[in-house]
Structure 1
Amino acid sequence: MGFHLPLIFALLSLAAVALANHAAQPAPQLYWNSVLPNTQMPRAISELLHPDSTNEEKSTNITNAVGNGKPTDHKGKPENIPLALIFYNRRYDLPTDNQLDYKNVAIFFLEKDMRPGATTNFQFPRNSNTATFLPRKSAQSIPFSSNKLLEIFNHFSVKPTSVEAKTIKQTIEECEAPGVKGEEKYCATSLESMVDFSTSKLRTRNVQAISTEVLEKGATMSMHKYTTMPGLKKLAGDKVIVCHKQNYPYAVFYCHAIKPIAAYVLSLKGDDGVKVKAVAICHLDTSEWNPKHLAFQILKVKPGKIPICHFLPTDHIVWVPNHKSA
């Protein structure tokens, strides 16, 4: 059999390109491709692996990495309250009505209100935290503990009395706080550890990972009136993992599983014509929630079994099993 040199050279060239592309991929993406080859990576994750040049430049700035550089204020407007506290920390003693400007914003809504034609005022802003993922080995080499705060501050060249240091301390303390009843929580300091936690709790690697996405590039993130379009989809599984991006020098996600819970994907259209693929989480039993929780103030209901729902911001991720594995 003779050698077909042109064919051999072509195959070798293709192999070289494949190896080069493989080598160019960040370690977290390689892990994703290995463990979740059939799971599409949501934008909330892919943007933290391949940031544009603007975000890459910003990520070197510790102020941008941990937030907007302003002191954390749990009072005032809803956007100043950490989302993990609004949505999940039922023990959090929220401010009184006259301290909050939420009357025209659908932070929470009832499950029955997710119907075509329903309108709501909402804002889908991006987190000012531009921090990207570190490979797991790199993240594990940096302490993440309230007992090691000085070492952490020194590592990131942060002054202990600075706003950045307070933000780092708060994030770690929220991660270390005990979970509420029925909550399984974990702070993932790498994409690899987020994948491991989510798949272990769902007991399958046949999963979907979904995030809220504003479908038009360059769309403004200001407040708009959104109309729910036909095509409401309930995601599979009676167990849902939700991961929320935290303010930290590198990407850290507060992940947790709470039962009973349901997840939906809705199609929304803004009054500016912008379309949004929105992920909504509905808590089916709120009997253990703090009676002063913001949801009860907004919806004028009491703790119980009336499902209470909320949209997820664009930098949060929902993990559910695929239908085939449910």
Structure 2
Amino acid sequence: MDNIISFFSLSTLFLYIWWMTTISFFQSYQLVGATNDGASTISSYWNEVFPRTPMPNAIQALLPSSLEISGFSRGLHHYDQERTNPGGRAWAKGWGVLGNDHDQFKRNWSPNLAPLYFLRDDLQPGRKMNVTMMISSPVVHGSNGAINIEPTFLPRQQTQAIPFLTSNLTTILKMFSIEPHSEHASLTKQTLEDCERPALKGEVKYCATSLESMIDFVVAELGSREIHAVVTSVVNKEEKVKARTYRVGDGGGKVMSPKVVTCHDVTFPYAVFYCHNFPGTRPYMVPLIADDGSLVNAIALCHFDTSKWNPGHASFRFLGVKPGTVPICHFIVKDLAWVPN
């Protein structure tokens, strides 16, 4: 009996030491800022896998920097301001356009920021559509220099020390000083639950908690290292968060590849992406031109097989069509589309 008690006492002691060490590390990371070592580690892995492919700016913006405070803590600081500032980047992000139920769509997306669903025929040159673009820099400039207000990537070795499970929610909230009953805690919990849900039929899904793990997933799914990530980008003018009318430019939407893996950024204390591969999905590059001449190279995904989607999905109501009848398309703005070179 004494041996058993001693064993459990030692186990408790080791658990306590691990807990305090981990908490101390992440509090230090949060208050002092990520070091350049983290960015170097992540960049080195990118260069190892993609030696001939430069890292896109959209990914570079999510690397940790010694010049910034943790993006998540900054996001909390700016959250209330951004909720009341239409030009700001809201901390609460939407995702899950292929969610398991249509209620998830209504929960995660503000009506004014809902992704626009359309038909493939709408990609013809000259077609007009109302689109809400959410293109804004994650970096703000203050008295102490540039600060990233979005959560940044952590090196894989660090994220592996944090069990990415709903059962570990309390620990995660304490690590990042999140109030247990706050909206931030609720959104963090929702991300964990969404990542633990079973994949849809035909879907291959994975929640990447680091850039390195995202790279491994997309390489495995696309079967090659000759791939690159594309994202919707402004060509000639800064875009704010607002709805406006665009027309499809000359040449219309052009398919980039018969295969694509899409990674959606989700709400979490550090950068996490929900990546998935759906058969029958094709990415298009679509030139969009606004009345004032603003040009956006938008990434659209067209899903050619919607027969397995929930009949209550918002796209069917929006377009007035039924599952499995026509391809359904939508733009992705802050998300990454990985395609073969």
User: Could you state the TM-score of these two structures normalised by the residue count of structure 2?
Assistant: 0.75
Cα distance change on mapping 1:270 and 1:58 into 2, 3 Å:
farther
Aligned partner (choices 114, 121, 133) of residue 112 of structure 1:
121
SS in 2 for 1:263: strand
Identity %, equivalent residues:
39
Q: Distance in 2 between matches of 1:248 and 1:205?
A: 28
Name the residue aligned to 1:320: 339
- Name the amino acid aligned to 2:71: S
Q: Distance in 2 between matches of 1:168 and 1:80?
A: 11
Q: Distance in 1 between matches of 2:284 and 2:315?
A: 19
The answer to whether the 8 A contact 1:240-1:263 is kept is yes
Matched, 1:123 2:132: yes
Q: Distance in 2 between matches of 1:249 and 1:105?
A: 23
Q: Distance in 2 between matches of 1:81 and 1:288?
A: 28
Cα distance change on mapping 1:222 and 1:306 into 2, 3 Å:
same
- Name the amino acid aligned to 1:112: D
Aligned partner (choices 251, 255, 264) of residue 234 of structure 1:
255
Q: How many angstroms does 1:298 deviate by?
A: 1.2
Q: How many angstroms does 1:90 deviate by?
A: 4.4
Name the residue aligned to 2:29: none
- Name the amino acid aligned to 2:266: Q
Q: How many angstroms does 1:139 deviate by?
A: 1.4
Cα distance change on mapping 1:234 and 1:60 into 2, 3 Å:
closer
Matched, 1:84 2:95: yes
- Name the amino acid aligned to 2:226: N
Q: Distance in 1 between matches of 2:38 and 2:305?
A: 46
The answer to whether the 8 A contact 2:124-2:248 is kept is yes
Q: Distance in 1 between matches of 2:281 and 2:56?
A: 21
Cα distance change on mapping 1:81 and 1:119 into 2, 3 Å:
farther
Name the residue aligned to 1:14: none
Cα distance change on mapping 1:58 and 1:117 into 2, 3 Å:
farther
The answer to whether the 8 A contact 2:302-2:329 is kept is yes
- Name the amino acid aligned to 1:235: M
Q: How many angstroms does 1:185 deviate by?
A: 0.4
Aligned partner (choices 29, 32, 49) of residue 43 of structure 2:
29
Matched, 1:177 2:186: no
Q: How many angstroms does 1:25 deviate by?
A: 5.3
Q: Distance in 1 between matches of 2:265 and 2:328?
A: 22
The runs of 5 or more residues in structure 2 that have no matched partner are 1-35, 84-89, 139-148
Q: How many angstroms does 1:214 deviate by?
A: 1.8
Q: How many angstroms does 1:311 deviate by?
A: 0.4
Q: Distance in 1 between matches of 2:92 and 2:48?
A: 37
SS in 2 for 1:61: helix
Q: Distance in 1 between matches of 2:164 and 2:331?
A: 29
Aligned partner (choices 50, 73, 82) of residue 61 of structure 1:
73
TM-superposition CA deviations, 1:293-322 (whole Å, max 9, x none): 111111111111300000001x20011222
Which piece of structure 1 moves more, 119-128 or 135-144?
119-128
Name the residue aligned to 1:16: none
Correspondences of 1:240-251 after superposition (within 5 Å): 240-251=260-271
TM-superposition CA deviations, 1:23-77 (whole Å, max 9, x none): 7953212211110122243332121127796xx3471526539x9469x9xxxxx
Cα distance change on mapping 1:82 and 1:158 into 2, 3 Å:
closer
TM-superposition CA deviations, 1:211-270 (whole Å, max 9, x none): 111224543232111111124321123x32000001111100000001111111111111
Correspondences of 1:265-276 after superposition (within 5 Å): 265-276=285-296
SS in 2 for 1:209: strand
Q: Distance in 1 between matches of 2:250 and 2:114?
A: 22
- Name the amino acid aligned to 1:47: A
SS in 2 for 1:290: coil
Q: How many angstroms does 1:287 deviate by?
A: 1.2
SS in 1 for 2:262: strand
Q: Distance in 1 between matches of 2:236 and 2:64?
A: 19
Q: Distance in 2 between matches of 1:178 and 1:170?
A: 14
SS in 2 for 1:175: helix
Name the residue aligned to 1:288: 308
Question: Aligned residue pairs: how many?
Answer: 285
